Amino acid sequence: MGSGYNDAKEVQAAKSTMNGGKAMKRKRTIKVFCFTAILMCALVPSLWISMNIPDERTTAEAPEQTVMEEEVQMEKMQIVIGQKTYNVSLYENETTKSLKEMLPMTVSMEELNGNEKYTYLSQSLPTDRVYPGQIHTGDLMLYGSDCLVLFYEDFATSYGYTPLGKVDDPVGLAEAVGSGAVEVTFQMGVE
Protein backbone atom coordinates (compact mmCIF):
# COMPACT_ATOMS: atom_id res chain seq x y z
CA MET A 1 0.00 0.00 0.00
CA GLY A 2 1.62 3.18 -1.20
CA SER A 3 1.22 6.45 0.54
CA GLY A 4 2.66 8.59 -2.23
CA TYR A 5 5.61 9.74 -0.08
CA ASN A 6 9.21 8.75 -0.77
CA ASP A 7 10.58 8.74 2.80
CA ALA A 8 9.80 9.39 6.49
CA LYS A 9 10.73 13.09 6.26
CA GLU A 10 8.05 13.70 3.66
CA VAL A 11 5.52 11.89 5.86
CA GLN A 12 6.48 14.04 8.86
CA ALA A 13 6.28 17.24 6.80
CA ALA A 14 2.85 16.26 5.55
CA LYS A 15 1.62 15.55 9.09
CA SER A 16 2.92 18.91 10.27
CA THR A 17 1.13 20.63 7.41
CA MET A 18 -2.08 18.77 8.16
CA ASN A 19 -1.89 19.80 11.82
CA GLY A 20 -1.65 23.40 10.71
CA GLY A 21 2.09 23.44 11.37
CA LYS A 22 1.46 23.31 15.14
CA ALA A 23 4.62 21.33 15.89
CA MET A 24 6.80 23.76 13.96
CA LYS A 25 5.07 26.75 15.53
CA ARG A 26 5.58 25.26 18.99
CA LYS A 27 9.32 24.73 18.31
CA ARG A 28 9.64 28.27 16.99
CA THR A 29 7.81 29.67 20.04
CA ILE A 30 10.09 27.75 22.40
CA LYS A 31 13.19 29.01 20.56
CA VAL A 32 11.95 32.63 20.69
CA PHE A 33 11.10 32.29 24.39
CA CYS A 34 14.55 30.85 25.21
CA PHE A 35 16.31 33.55 23.20
CA THR A 36 14.29 36.29 24.95
CA ALA A 37 15.00 34.80 28.40
CA ILE A 38 18.74 34.65 27.71
CA LEU A 39 18.72 38.20 26.36
CA MET A 40 16.85 39.52 29.41
CA CYS A 41 19.27 37.80 31.79
CA ALA A 42 22.15 39.46 29.99
CA LEU A 43 20.56 42.93 29.91
CA VAL A 44 18.98 43.26 33.37
CA PRO A 45 22.24 43.90 35.30
CA SER A 46 23.25 46.62 32.83
CA LEU A 47 19.78 48.17 33.14
CA TRP A 48 20.16 48.26 36.94
CA ILE A 49 23.46 50.05 36.57
CA SER A 50 22.11 52.59 34.08
CA MET A 51 19.08 53.25 36.30
CA ASN A 52 21.24 53.53 39.46
CA ILE A 53 19.35 50.71 41.15
CA PRO A 54 21.60 49.49 43.98
CA ASP A 55 22.67 45.90 44.13
CA GLU A 56 21.57 44.49 47.52
CA ARG A 57 24.76 42.47 47.84
CA THR A 58 27.01 45.53 47.74
CA THR A 59 24.93 48.14 49.57
CA ALA A 60 24.17 46.51 52.91
CA GLU A 61 26.21 49.17 54.72
CA ALA A 62 25.51 52.08 52.36
CA PRO A 63 22.47 53.54 54.19
CA GLU A 64 24.49 54.14 57.37
CA GLN A 65 27.25 55.78 55.38
CA THR A 66 24.76 58.01 53.55
CA VAL A 67 23.09 59.12 56.79
CA MET A 68 26.45 59.90 58.37
CA GLU A 69 27.55 61.87 55.31
CA GLU A 70 24.30 63.87 55.33
CA GLU A 71 24.68 64.69 59.03
CA VAL A 72 28.22 65.96 58.46
CA GLN A 73 27.06 68.19 55.60
CA MET A 74 23.96 69.61 57.32
CA GLU A 75 24.16 73.05 58.87
CA LYS A 76 23.08 73.38 62.49
CA MET A 77 20.67 75.78 64.14
CA GLN A 78 19.57 76.08 67.76
CA ILE A 79 16.08 76.39 69.15
CA VAL A 80 16.03 77.83 72.67
CA ILE A 81 12.87 77.30 74.73
CA GLY A 82 13.19 78.62 78.28
CA GLN A 83 16.30 76.98 79.76
CA LYS A 84 16.32 74.15 77.20
CA THR A 85 18.35 74.27 73.96
CA TYR A 86 17.77 71.92 71.03
CA ASN A 87 20.12 71.46 68.08
CA VAL A 88 18.46 71.31 64.66
CA SER A 89 19.97 69.83 61.50
CA LEU A 90 18.88 72.07 58.63
CA TYR A 91 18.05 70.73 55.18
CA GLU A 92 19.85 72.34 52.29
CA ASN A 93 17.24 74.24 50.27
CA GLU A 94 16.28 77.77 49.25
CA THR A 95 13.78 78.05 52.10
CA THR A 96 16.34 77.37 54.82
CA LYS A 97 18.77 79.79 53.16
CA SER A 98 16.14 82.52 53.39
CA LEU A 99 15.23 81.56 56.97
CA LYS A 100 18.90 81.75 58.06
CA GLU A 101 19.03 85.36 56.82
CA MET A 102 16.31 86.21 59.37
CA LEU A 103 18.24 84.75 62.33
CA PRO A 104 18.61 85.22 65.19
CA MET A 105 14.97 85.78 65.99
CA THR A 106 12.76 85.34 69.03
CA VAL A 107 9.07 84.72 68.40
CA SER A 108 5.94 83.77 70.28
CA MET A 109 4.70 80.43 68.97
CA GLU A 110 1.02 79.55 69.35
CA GLU A 111 -0.45 76.13 70.14
CA LEU A 112 -2.36 74.15 67.50
CA ASN A 113 -3.99 70.71 67.70
CA GLY A 114 -1.97 69.50 70.69
CA ASN A 115 0.93 68.54 68.42
CA GLU A 116 2.52 71.71 67.02
CA LYS A 117 3.59 75.28 67.71
CA TYR A 118 3.44 77.86 64.95
CA THR A 119 4.24 81.50 64.24
CA TYR A 120 3.80 83.73 61.21
CA LEU A 121 7.04 85.20 59.91
CA SER A 122 7.46 88.85 58.97
CA GLN A 123 8.17 87.90 55.34
CA SER A 124 7.35 85.11 52.91
CA LEU A 125 9.94 82.46 52.14
CA PRO A 126 10.39 80.41 48.96
CA THR A 127 8.53 77.11 49.10
CA ASP A 128 9.02 73.58 47.82
CA ARG A 129 5.99 71.82 49.27
CA VAL A 130 5.96 68.08 49.90
CA TYR A 131 3.25 65.86 51.37
CA PRO A 132 5.14 63.81 53.97
CA GLY A 133 2.18 61.68 55.09
CA GLN A 134 3.76 61.34 58.54
CA ILE A 135 5.00 64.07 60.88
CA HIS A 136 7.66 63.23 63.46
CA THR A 137 8.49 64.88 66.77
CA GLY A 138 11.09 67.56 66.11
CA ASP A 139 10.17 68.28 62.49
CA LEU A 140 10.62 71.97 61.64
CA MET A 141 8.59 72.96 58.58
CA LEU A 142 7.07 75.86 56.72
CA TYR A 143 3.33 75.82 56.10
CA GLY A 144 2.36 78.01 53.16
CA SER A 145 5.03 80.63 52.58
CA ASP A 146 5.20 82.34 55.98
CA CYS A 147 4.07 80.01 58.78
CA LEU A 148 6.94 78.43 60.73
CA VAL A 149 5.86 75.20 62.45
CA LEU A 150 7.62 73.12 65.11
CA PHE A 151 6.04 69.71 65.69
CA TYR A 152 6.30 68.08 69.11
CA GLU A 153 4.23 64.92 68.50
CA ASP A 154 4.16 62.18 65.82
CA PHE A 155 1.01 61.96 63.69
CA ALA A 156 -0.27 61.25 60.18
CA THR A 157 -1.10 64.21 57.95
CA SER A 158 -2.45 64.99 54.50
CA TYR A 159 -1.15 68.59 54.58
CA GLY A 160 1.77 69.87 52.51
CA TYR A 161 4.84 71.54 54.02
CA THR A 162 8.28 72.74 53.01
CA PRO A 163 10.79 70.83 55.16
CA LEU A 164 13.35 73.02 56.95
CA GLY A 165 15.09 70.70 59.38
CA LYS A 166 14.77 68.28 62.26
CA VAL A 167 15.56 68.52 65.97
CA ASP A 168 18.49 66.14 66.50
CA ASP A 169 17.31 64.88 69.91
CA PRO A 170 13.68 65.86 70.55
CA VAL A 171 13.42 64.14 73.96
CA GLY A 172 11.46 66.45 76.27
CA LEU A 173 10.37 68.79 73.47
CA ALA A 174 6.64 68.43 74.28
CA GLU A 175 7.28 69.34 77.92
CA ALA A 176 9.51 72.28 76.96
CA VAL A 177 6.91 73.88 74.65
CA GLY A 178 4.04 73.27 77.10
CA SER A 179 0.35 73.57 76.31
CA GLY A 180 -0.03 77.25 75.42
CA ALA A 181 1.92 79.97 73.63
CA VAL A 182 5.67 79.84 74.17
CA GLU A 183 8.61 82.14 73.44
CA VAL A 184 11.17 80.47 71.17
CA THR A 185 14.55 81.74 69.95
CA PHE A 186 15.98 80.49 66.66
CA GLN A 187 19.72 81.06 66.10
CA MET A 188 22.55 79.56 64.08
CA GLY A 189 25.15 77.32 65.71
CA VAL A 190 25.18 74.38 68.10
CA GLU A 191 25.40 74.01 71.85
CATH of residue 116: 2.40.100.20
Same domain, 105 and 137: yes
130 is a domain residue: yes
Cβ neighbours of residue 3 closer than 8 Å, sequence gap 6 or more: 11
pLDDT tens per residue across all 191 residues of the chain: 555 656 666 656 655 555 555 666 677 777 776 666 665 656 555 444 444 444 433 333 333 444 444 445 689 999 999 999 999 999 999 999 999 999 999 999 999 999 999 999 999 999 999 999 999 999 999 999 999 999 999 999 999 999 999 999 999 999 999 999 999 999 998 76
104 domain-assigned: yes
Cα end-to-end span (Å), the chain: 106
Q: Which amino acid is at 127?
A: T
Domains: count for the chain? 2
Same domain, 84 and 167: yes
